[in-house]
Structure 1
Amino acid sequence: MKKIILIVAALLATLFESYAQEKKSKIPGTQNITLSAEKWEFQPGKVDFLEFKGRHTMKIAPASGPIVIKDLIFTDGTIEYDVIPAKTEFASAIYFHRKNEKEQEIVYLRVPKMTDPFANEGIQYCPILDGVNMWDMYPQYQSAAQAKTDEWNHIKLVISSMQMQVFVNNTLRLTIPKLEGRERSGSIAFDGDSYISNIEIKPDQTENLAQTEGADLSRHEANYIRNWSVAQPALLAEGREPTTVSDLPKDDSFVEKIAAERYGLVNLTRRFGGSEKRRIVWLKAIINAKEATQTNLQLGFSDEIWVYLNDQITYTDKNIFRQNMKKYPDGRISVQNGSTKLKLKKGENQLLIGVSNDFYGWGIIARLENLEGIAAIEPYEVKKRVIENIERYLGVYTAEISPTVKLTFIQKDEKLILQTSEQDSTPLDYIGNDLFKMGLGIEWQFKPDLKQVIRRENGFEMKFAKEQ
């Protein structure tokens, strides 16, 4: 009798499970994606559809590229699937909101780390902008996955307009308060050597996840320098350090503005795209101090940085992942990457920062540790001053202490140019009252009535007399 009861109970359990599966599959709008070749776009020879571990599966080969579901555009809802990644694979990924290879969003298991409960990089979300995987710009969007090896792992993405939650084996692993991609709808694709099965798409089923952007807990902090003037990117030769006058941008280069995103990140990739060759961008801000004071400037940067305060270089550093010159945390951008002391004078202080990049994400975070004595932080504004009677400054000048040292000042496009040779010329920025700035703390004070110009640098002066 006892045996009969156990058999009946087992049959009832099986029937109940079958009913639940049937009910689940009949939820309005749910799409069970067919695992057959006609439903997918892929490179020849990169996908097989076969039986594996008692299931009908899609086997993705190594180096397959994205395997895209045909005729499906996804905006909001739930995506669920089961996956067994190959042990030799680096990442097993799902793409969504996919416009093309350059614009999409991705969630991926880092397979070598996915079983480690203390590996924060086990699973990650990031946008792909202009073809650049932004993994190193969003370290806050990664977590331990605690996935299983050689067993099915159930992955679920719940996407609700601006927010997303990611579950691994029914446990919440990632909460994304703001999706960072440019697209709000697009195709779905898979990538990485793995077996995939049981793909379900549930449009508009968002499990009551909020549609609005979640909180940015850094937003209330005035410490972050969030608004900058920015120059256009320029190529920077390998091995070159921008530490000479000719390397630095002129004041009139800063005609555009750029603002920080969440967590104080100035996302240069979003603005200027990816960098296959080493490029540098210069940013400039003004810090007004009520009195002379000191504060630490905390910095996150990718990949290289040069900091100038009032024309004096104060800091340079590198956060280069592939050359094992990476900063904590493991080459990702973070305000903990570095810091330097700023000695601010009373009044206006010019902060100039150059950031170069040729590897994945490009950005900077700048935060003042202490705000005591700070009156304002603003983007640099170009002050256009007309040079009146510019001809008064033109001509050849000879150093009083060494007659063989000669300088030539010429006019070009309403600017005063210092020419030291046929190849070497430097535009000067007009400050007013016959004073011009060259950069790196070098100034030229003209005295037209005396037919003189005085070169000033770090408290030292050198006089030149105008030739007749």
Structure 2
Amino acid sequence: MKTVTMKAILIFLLATIGSQAVAQTTVPFDSSAWMFAGKVTKETFQGKDGIRLTDGRIILKDNTFKNGIIEFDMTLSPERNFPGFGFRLQDTDNFEHLYLRPHRVGNPDAIQYIPIFNGHDSWQFYYGDGYSTTVTYPMNAWVHIKLVVRDTQAEVYIGSSTEPSLVIHQLKREPKPGRISLENGAPVTTHFANFQYTKTDTPPMSGKFKPEAAPQPGTLLNWQVSSTFDEKLLQTDYLIPQALANRLTWSNLTAENSGILNVSKIRKRSEDANTVFTKLTIVSDKPQIKKLDLGFSDRVNVYLNGRLLYAGHDEFLSRDYRFLGTVGYYDAVYLDLKKGQNELWIAVSENFGGWGIQSRIDDQTGLTIKP
């Protein structure tokens, strides 16, 4: 009896200590806790004390949030805008990002998760199951937002739902402690109130998480990526400009299992340096033709052994007013390989929304492929 009693007491004490260790922290909207950038005004709106935020973000000074729960209330307007929040901020160019598209409420992209690398978003790569979904929420009224995150998994709750509105199977950035931000980059007003967060490595999660799928057969995973340059340098000839090739430097980059090679992971884009080459070597045991399935964002020039084979444009709205420029295996190039070593170079240029390629050669009979 004594043993049972002592065990019960120990369990109670451990539970009590655990609950204290993961206590919720409520944070007021003042400069002692936040860094402000943009138009921030304290005010009471529809009975709740908070802030009105336009054209900017506020960043929590605490830089130790890795796993746990983030909660707040916000208002949304039906005008085209993208308010949301970031977490695990390493700096303002590198963080995990979640945002809402109020003008798309009820549609499959009403909420969106993307990783931010080197200041570049990537929603054209990450869409559909695990990244965006259909949700509804009220306009010009308070709605509750809750994120639960543990290592590479996260789930988002909208309103009073007890089931996650969005399940993120695989966060794309390495899990590291960082800051939290609330964001509204548009002139449309968004209100925030009742911000609180809990740091714990064991938050309760109810989402049905799927393991990351293995690469499809033939997926090209290992590439070299060049330093950046101006896309205009490619507009003079059907050959790779030798002067440009001679000055490039190269880094290895491995694609995700989906085949997505997200260039922003290692390169920072600017207006006059919006292009890189990705390259690999294909060794063929005989002269033969192989089909290269290709997805890209935004524009590519495909070169085999220095000569231009194909140029494609898939940027946002490039085909019609509804065209999003999302990436998939929608294009193909047939590679006329010679016996021996062949150099495949793909120049990829970017405006916004995702910088990189997705590629595979289903039939690799007689080939050896290396970066």
TM-score (norm 1): 0.65
Q: 2:326 corresponds to which residue?
A: 332
Corresponding residue SS for 1:62? strand
Match of 1:144 among 113, 116, 134: 134
Q: Between the two proteins, what is the percent identity of the paired residues? A: 25
Aligned-pair CA distance for 1:45: 5.3
Match of 1:373 among 340, 362, 365: 365
Aligned-pair CA distance for 1:250: 4.7
- Please list the CA deviations of residues 162-202 of structure 1 after superposition, one character each: whole Å capped at 9, or x if unmatched: 21112223242322233223561222121223222333312
Match of 1:195 among 191, 194, 210: 191
Corresponding residue SS for 2:42? strand
Match of 1:364 among 341, 357, 364: 357
CA contact (8 A) 1:81 1:197 kept: yes
Alignment gaps of 5+ in structure 1: 1-24, 380-468
Q: 2:282 corresponds to which residue?
A: 287
Match of 2:346 among 344, 353, 361: 353
CA distance in 1, matches of 2:234, 2:319: 15
CA distance in 2, matches of 1:371, 1:88: 48
- Please list the CA deviations of residues 133-174 of structure 1 after superposition, one character each: whole Å capped at 9, or x if unmatched: 232332342222222223332222111012111222324232
Residues 150 and 351 from structure 1, CA distance in 2 versus in 1: closer, same or farther, beyond 3 angstroms?
Answer: same
Q: Please report the RMSD computed on the Cα atoms of aligned residues, expressed in angstroms.
A: 3.2
CA contact (8 A) 1:33 1:199 kept: yes
Alignment gaps of 5+ in structure 2: 1-18
Aligned-pair CA distance for 1:363: 1.0
Q: Within 5 Å, give how 1:196-235 maps onto structure 2.
A: 196-204=192-200, 205-208=202-205, 215-217=211-213, 219-235=214-230
Residues 45 and 139 from structure 1, CA distance in 2 versus in 1: closer, same or farther, beyond 3 angstroms?
Answer: closer
- Please list the CA deviations of residues 254-288 of structure 1 after superposition, one character each: whole Å capped at 9, or x if unmatched: 75432212411212111111222243322222233
CA distance in 2, matches of 1:162, 1:264: 19
Aligned-pair CA distance for 1:249: 5.7
Q: 1:451 corresponds to which residue?
A: none
Q: How many residue pairs were aligned?
A: 343
CA distance in 2, matches of 1:44, 1:96: 18
CA contact (8 A) 1:109 1:123 kept: yes
Corresponding residue SS for 2:270? coil
Residues 243 and 292 from structure 1, CA distance in 2 versus in 1: closer, same or farther, beyond 3 angstroms?
Answer: closer
The one-letter code sitting in structure 2 at the alignment partner of 1:86 is: S
Q: Does 1:272 align with 2:261?
A: no
CA contact (8 A) 1:290 1:373 kept: no
Corresponding residue SS for 1:47? strand
CA contact (8 A) 1:335 1:366 kept: yes
CA distance in 2, matches of 1:280, 1:44: 31
TM-score (norm 2): 0.80
Please identify, of 166-175 and 325-334, the stretch whose mean Cα deviation from structure 2 is larger: 325-334
CA distance in 2, matches of 1:92, 1:255: 37
Residues 271 and 149 from structure 1, CA distance in 2 versus in 1: closer, same or farther, beyond 3 angstroms?
Answer: same
The one-letter code sitting in structure 2 at the alignment partner of 1:333 is: V
- Please list the CA deviations of residues 100-150 of structure 1 after superposition, one character each: whole Å capped at 9, or x if unmatched: 22222210001101x22xx22211111222222232332342222222223
Residues 224 and 271 from structure 1, CA distance in 2 versus in 1: closer, same or farther, beyond 3 angstroms?
Answer: same
Corresponding residue SS for 2:367? strand
Q: Within 5 Å, give how 1:400-415 maps onto structure 2.
A: none
Corresponding residue SS for 2:264? helix
Higher relative contact order (CA 8 A, sep 6+): 2
